[in-house]
Amino acid sequence: MLSKRIQSLSESLTIAITSLAQQLQREGKDVIGFSAGEPDFDTPRVIKDAAIDAIEKGYTKYTAVDGIPELKEAIVAKLKRDNGLEYTTDQVIASNGAKQSLFNLFQATIDPGDEVIIPAPYWVTYPELVKYSEGVPVAIDTDDSTAFKITPEMLEKAITPKTRMLILTTPSNPTGAVYSKAEIEALAEVLRGTDILVASDEMYEKLVYHGTEFTATASVSDDMFQRTVTINGLSKSVAMTGWRFGYCASADRELVKAMKKLQSQSTSNINTITQHAAIKGLDGSADADIATMRAAFEERCDEAVRLFNAIDGLSVVPPRGAFYLFVNHKAVESDSIVFAKRMLEEVGIAVVPGAGFGTDGYFRFSFAKDLETIRRGIGRIAEFVEKYR
Ligand code: PMP
Ligand code: GLU
């Protein structure tokens, strides 16, 4: 008999659809996958070399739960260099991907009934992990009209005496929306004087386009520095999804200690070899590789937006960051599950239905694929939409 807690947890829809597409491909079906939230690039050479070196040097044993000192110093230096944030090494912790950082954070801060405000569309994992911590996810619905961003008025309305936390994702998965400094400052004004925490997921920080400036949520004021827990990692910007490295930073040392305690009883330190490799992803050694990947994503983004907006019945707000398009298909079909299922069955294209992100009538298309595949895939989607009835 399974626990009630685990029975109420849903499987990650993004992973489920990507696995289904891969299974169909293995069976010989002509399926093109645009569902994965994963760069198609290889991990940069300098990072692989650091990992090989770590193996050769015998760095293969347990380490401190929160990471080796050199890694934590590299995280602190990165946050200072890129974001102007001043942390010390006891305010950061390395985990098995940002996913574990989020898990640790929710487990360490949420009591039964605590409300967590999550702007929708949201990344599939947030509400599930909040519920797993016995918290209550409270969605704020957004759409194309505010470029999928919440306004201070929307935030104000969603706050109740039970609000414990706000989750901000900038750049956003699944919409690519990026909050400007002024927009974060305006949200910060609403939070001033409350004891609401902010979990700022900045996983796609390095992937911003057309001169968009990224602003770290914790950097806008001392008040925000105190209440914000920054979550980040190297999975997306440095193509390290399989290495499992993410981190979290907070001004609150007691909170960091609590997350470390939980990790000490669950997974302990992250893979030691990954820790040595991750330093090279943080310290600037891979910056040229990151710039090359970012430029490729920008080109693909432009092409995909152009092609989608040329299809009668579909529309997309050009994203400012990340590598997803959140495509509006309401003119053709309002039910995103039906639409995505039929697209997979009829033309072999895998995308993630918007309903999984809390917003129906859209699908998420990942442009982390080469240009040729993107053109071929959107060509098939155009045929599918034209014949849709
Ligand atoms: N945050 C966001 C917004 C994501 O899209 C992802 C994707 N997996 C993660 C966190 C988690 O990344 P990881 O666990 O690979 O570090
Ligand atoms: N975050 C990625 C996505 O949204 C990877 C899959 C997952 O962890 O959910 O597709």
| Span 217-247, pLDDT tens digits | 999 999 999 999 999 999 999 999 999 999 9
Average pLDDT, the chain: 96
Fold assignment, 47-282: Aspartate Aminotransferase; domain 2 (3.40.640)
Is any ligand 1 atom within 6 A of the Cβ of residue 39?
A: no
Contacts of 220 (CB under 8 A, 6+ apart): 181, 184, 185, 188
Closest alpha carbon to 140 in 111, 98, 172, 108: 172
Ligand 2 midpoint to CA 267 (Å): 20
Is any ligand 2 atom within 6 A of the Cβ of residue 173?
A: yes
Ligand 1 midpoint to CA 170 (Å): 12
Among protein residues, the one with the nearest Cα to ligand 1's atom 10 is 98
What percent of the chain is predicted at pLDDT more than 90?
92
The pLDDT value recorded for residue 243 is 98
Among protein residues, the one with the nearest Cα to ligand 1's atom 3 is 173
The pLDDT value recorded for residue 19 is 86
Ligand 1 midpoint to CA 361 (Å): 24
pLDDT of 178 > 90? The answer is yes
Is any ligand 2 atom within 6 A of the Cβ of residue 174?
A: no
Contacts of 104 (CB under 8 A, 6+ apart): 93, 95, 248, 259, 262, 263
The pLDDT value recorded for residue 214 is 98
Is any ligand 1 atom within 6 A of the Cβ of residue 67?
A: no
Among protein residues, the one with the nearest Cα to ligand 2's atom 4 is 37
Ligand 1 midpoint to CA 267 (Å): 18
132 close to 105: Cβ distance less than 8 angstroms: no
Closest alpha carbon to 199 in 273, 103, 87: 103
Among protein residues, the one with the nearest Cα to ligand 1's atom 13 is 97
The pLDDT value recorded for residue 20 is 85
The answer to whether 4-43+287-388 and 47-282 have equal CATH topology is no
Ligand 2 midpoint to CA 357 (Å): 11
The alpha helices in 93-216, defined as continuous H runs, are 97-109, 125-132, 152-158, 181-191
The pLDDT value recorded for residue 18 is 85
Q: Model-level pTM? A: 0.96
Contacts of 143 (CB under 8 A, 6+ apart): 359
Ligand nearest to the CA of 236: 1
Contacts of 237 (CB under 8 A, 6+ apart): 203, 204, 205, 206, 207, 290, 293, 294
Per residue in 44-88, pLDDT (tens digit) is 999 999 999 999 999 999 999 999 999 999 999 999 999 999 999
Is any ligand 1 atom within 6 A of the Cβ of residue 96?
A: no
| Pairing mode of beta strands 136-141, 115-120 | parallel
Is any ligand 2 atom within 6 A of the Cβ of residue 37?
A: yes
Which whole-number Å values give the CA distances from 288 to 154, 156, 191, 238, in the listed order?
39, 42, 38, 11
Is any ligand 2 atom within 6 A of the Cβ of residue 233?
A: no
pLDDT of 145 > 90? The answer is no
pLDDT of 17 > 90? The answer is no
What percent of the chain is predicted at pLDDT more than 70?
100
For 248, the 3-state DSSP assignment is: strand
Ligand 1 midpoint to CA 173 (Å): 9
363 close to 350: Cβ distance less than 8 angstroms: no
Per residue in 96-136, pLDDT (tens digit) is 999 999 999 999 999 999 999 999 999 999 999 999 999 99
Q: Where are the domains of the chain?
A: 4-43+287-388, 47-282
163 close to 128: Cβ distance less than 8 angstroms: no
* Strands across the sheet containing 324-328: 315-316, 324-328, 362-366, 352-353
Give the pLDDT band of residue 21 (cuts 50, 70, 90): confident
Is any ligand 2 atom within 6 A of the Cβ of residue 241?
A: no
317 close to 148: Cβ distance less than 8 angstroms: yes
Rounded distance between C-alpha atoms, residue 348 and residue 351, angstroms? 10
Per residue in 239-277, pLDDT (tens digit) is 999 999 999 999 999 999 999 999 999 999 999 999 999
The pLDDT value recorded for residue 229 is 98
Between residues 19 and 356, which one has the greater pLDDT? Answer: 356
Joined together, the tokens standing for residue 140 give 């704020």
Fold assignment, 4-43+287-388: Aspartate Aminotransferase, domain 1 (3.90.1150)
Per residue in 295-342, pLDDT (tens digit) is 999 999 999 999 999 999 999 999 999 999 999 999 999 999 999 999
**Residue recorded with tokens 């310290």:** 283
